[in-house]
Amino acid sequence: MNKPFAITLDIGTSLVNKTGTWRTERPVYVDRLPPCNNACPAGENIQQWLFHAEEGNYEAAWREIMKNNPLPAVMGRVCYHPCEDCCNRAKLDSAVGIHAVERFLGDLAIAQGWNVKAEKPSTGKRVLVVGAGPSGLACAYHLALLGHSVTVHEAGPAPGGMMRFGIPKYRLPREVLDAEVKRIADLGVTFCYNRKVEDLDALMKAERYDAVFLAVGAHLAKRAYIPAGDASKIMDALQLLRGVEAGEQPMLGRRVLVYGGGNTAMDVARSAKRLGAAEAIVVYRRTREKMPAHDFEVQEAMDEGVMFKWLTTITAEKDGEFTVEKMRLDEKGKPQPTGEFETMKADSCVLALGQDVDMSFLKQVKGLTVTDGVVEVGPDMMTGCKGVFAGGDMVPAERTVTVAVGHGKKAARYIDGYLRGATYQAPPKHEVASFDLLNTWYYSDAPATVQPALDAARRTESFDEVVGGLDQSNALFEARRCLSCGNCFECDNCFGVCPDNAVIKLGPGKRFKFNYDYCKGCGMCSTECPCGAIRMEPENI
């Protein structure tokens, strides 16, 4: 005889999310800010262009980048990709290779000859941009798109600023830089090379500019007092890198000391190896953990045979011998002298201790304030002098290409508002889509694509580019690793799991909406949304 059985069901919060006959909360579709977008100093809509890329629509992806950044092929090579540091995918396996896909799109655009056209009518306003580095180029590009006439004055013989004279060719091939600058020039931007601005106030009055954007790079090397018997044995990093760019062969000798711990020091040490130095030794007064240089740059230098001497400072030179002092870190992490000395033989020493901006051309500009070597600006990037804006290395901020490009775009939008007699209003930001809002069990493991690179043994033989790019197949794979954090990509999960048929499909590209007459607020849709694009909100009674 079969025994009767009973099923007991514990109706707790895990099943009904505190809802019952009367709904106490309702699901709402939301757009959250992807952490990659939030971290990008250039303000790119990374998730949007990755979406186009994963669909194989590469031109649309590139054009989405170009709304914010005119240098994708450059940025894909030299940006330190803070977007990837914040990528939620890193908590599953590894971050999406955003920079690699951006580089692929930038290179493809150059190969295909894609261009951007200014759609806004001419305003008749004239803007001067001082400096053709990343910030000046970005500002000129966006102002041209907005219909303004832009002239760029550059003290050097070619555009790019520190991208050309501070970043070696093995990281940034010059044909890539030139191609992206040409695209900006094709918009109608006028470039005047070997035109150093000596007196800004006089130039603005003589040529009747309506506004100016200051974007002079940090081209003055900081010095350190090192008593030396032979001053020719000591040079600065920028002097060396400029010489290399000009095709010169600096006389470094077989053993080179590089004094400093930043990314420029890494570039100098790696360049020294390519110039024939048998040994390049980075002397730094702190430890590797305290170095301002990015870890991957340090690792690449080590891979190429660059050596490091930590907790050491250079105090003097005589007859080819450099006196160095051992340092120790105090409780605050600052280096302190120990009184312990030794000597190191070297043929030369390159100082890579940071750079400053030449502000001498601003002496006659009234109202402009310079503090600690940088220009004070407001939230609108305007200085204390009406109509004079500044960005990049000239203002207080991290000195990177990406930050400079972001400054140029931001300044262009405020300059446009100033010229039109209005005030630019930046759109509000959504809340950031954090990892805990995602339902990641839907995603399979897919480790990041590794970019090809020259063998370490071959790298120091020339200034050929070290890191290669992706092809169409692995760029597509990498783009598809994006989790679409915080934004619906129409996976149909909410539609499929709703027990009340309360989710209505609106058609391709139109997402969904809720029929609240049927929804009982169970929260299944929110729980099962893989990208965190549904939020449960208290019911308004």
Q: What is the pLDDT of residue 17?
A: 41
Give the confidence band of 21 by pLDDT, cuts at 50, 70, 90.
low
Give the confidence band of 195 by pLDDT, cuts at 50, 70, 90.
very high
Rounded Cα distance between 362 and 359, Å, is: 6
Q: What is the pLDDT of residue 233?
A: 87
Give the confidence band of 170 by pLDDT, cuts at 50, 70, 90.
very high
Q: What is the pLDDT of residue 290?
A: 93
Q: Which of 71-85, 104-118, 181-195, 353-367 has the lowest mean pLDDT?
A: 353-367
pLDDT cut 90: percent of the chain above it: 81
Q: Write out the residue limits of the CATH 3.50.50.60 domain(s) in the chain.
A: 126-220+356-419, 224-354
Rounded Cα distance between 114 and 129, Å, is: 25
- Using the predicted structure, report yes or no on whether residue 9 has a pLDDT greater than 80: no
The CATH number that domain 35-115+444-479 falls under is: 1.10.1060.10
Averaged over 464-481, what is the pLDDT?
95
Q: What is the pLDDT of residue 13?
A: 38
Helix ranges (DSSP H) in 113-224: 134-145, 162-165, 174-185, 200-207
- Using the predicted structure, report yes or no on whether residue 266 has a pLDDT greater than 60: yes
Give pLDDT tens digits for 408-441: 999 999 999 999 999 999 899 999 999 999 999 8
Mean pLDDT score of the chain: 92
- Using the predicted structure, report yes or no on whether residue 16 has a pLDDT greater than 50: no
Question: Quick check: pTM over 0.85?
Answer: yes
Residue listed under structure tokens 């931007």: 189
What is the DSSP secondary structure assignment for residue 250, as one 8-state letter?
-
Strands 190-192 and 149-153: parallel
Residues belonging to the chain: 541
Q: What is the pLDDT of residue 12?
A: 40
Rounded Cα distance between 335 and 235, Å, is: 24
Burial of residue 243, with CB atoms counted within 10 A of its CB: 0-12 exposed, 13-18 middle, 19 or more buried: middle
Averaged over 146-162, what is the pLDDT?
96
Residue pair 399/393 in contact by the 8 Å Cβ criterion: yes
- Using the predicted structure, report yes or no on whether residue 227 has a pLDDT greater than 80: yes
Q: Which of 13-22, 222-231, 245-254, 346-355 has the lowest mean pLDDT?
A: 13-22
Half-sphere exposure (CA, 13 Å, Cβ side) for 265?
29
Rounded Cα distance between 272 and 23, Å, is: 70
Q: What is the pLDDT of residue 51?
A: 96
Q: What is the pLDDT of residue 541?
A: 56
Closest CA to 70 of 417, 465, 404, 468: 404
Q: Which of 258-272, 439-453, 473-487 has the lowest mean pLDDT?
A: 439-453
Q: Write out the residue limits of the CATH 1.10.1060.10 domain(s) in the chain.
A: 35-115+444-479
Give pLDDT tens digits for 26-76: 999 999 999 999 999 999 999 999 999 999 999 999 999 999 999 999 999
Q: What is the pLDDT of residue 8?
A: 40
Q: What is the pLDDT of residue 22?
A: 66
- Using the predicted structure, report yes or no on whether residue 5 has a pLDDT greater than 60: no
Q: What is the pLDDT of residue 207?
A: 92
Instruction: Give the CATH architecture of domain 126-220+356-419.
Output: 3-Layer(bba) Sandwich (3.50)
Angle at 482 between CA 479 and CA 487, to 5 degrees: 125
- Using the predicted structure, report yes or no on whether residue 535 has a pLDDT greater than 50: yes
- Using the predicted structure, report yes or no on whether residue 291 has a pLDDT greater than 90: yes
Instruction: Give the CATH architecture of domain 13-31+488-538.
Output: 2-Layer Sandwich (3.30)
Q: Write out the residue limits of the CATH 3.30.70.20 domain(s) in the chain.
A: 13-31+488-538
Tokens at residue 185, please? 């020039």
Averaged over 156-173, what is the pLDDT?
95
- Using the predicted structure, report yes or no on whether residue 78 has a pLDDT greater than 50: yes
Give the confidence band of 495 by pLDDT, cuts at 50, 70, 90.
very high
Rounded Cα distance between 66 and 4, Å, is: 70
Q: What is the pLDDT of residue 525?
A: 95
Residue pair 418/241 in contact by the 8 Å Cβ criterion: no
Superfamily (CATH H level) for 224-354: FAD/NAD(P)-binding domain (3.50.50.60)
In the three-class reduction of DSSP (H, G, I as helix; E, B as strand; rest coil), residue 282 is classed as strand
Closest CA to 281 of 223, 322, 332, 230: 322
> What are the two backbone dihedrals, phi and then psi, of residue 458, each rounded to the nearest 5 degrees?
-95, -15
Give the confidence band of 231 by pLDDT, cuts at 50, 70, 90.
confident
What is the DSSP secondary structure assignment for residue 33, as one 8-state letter?
B
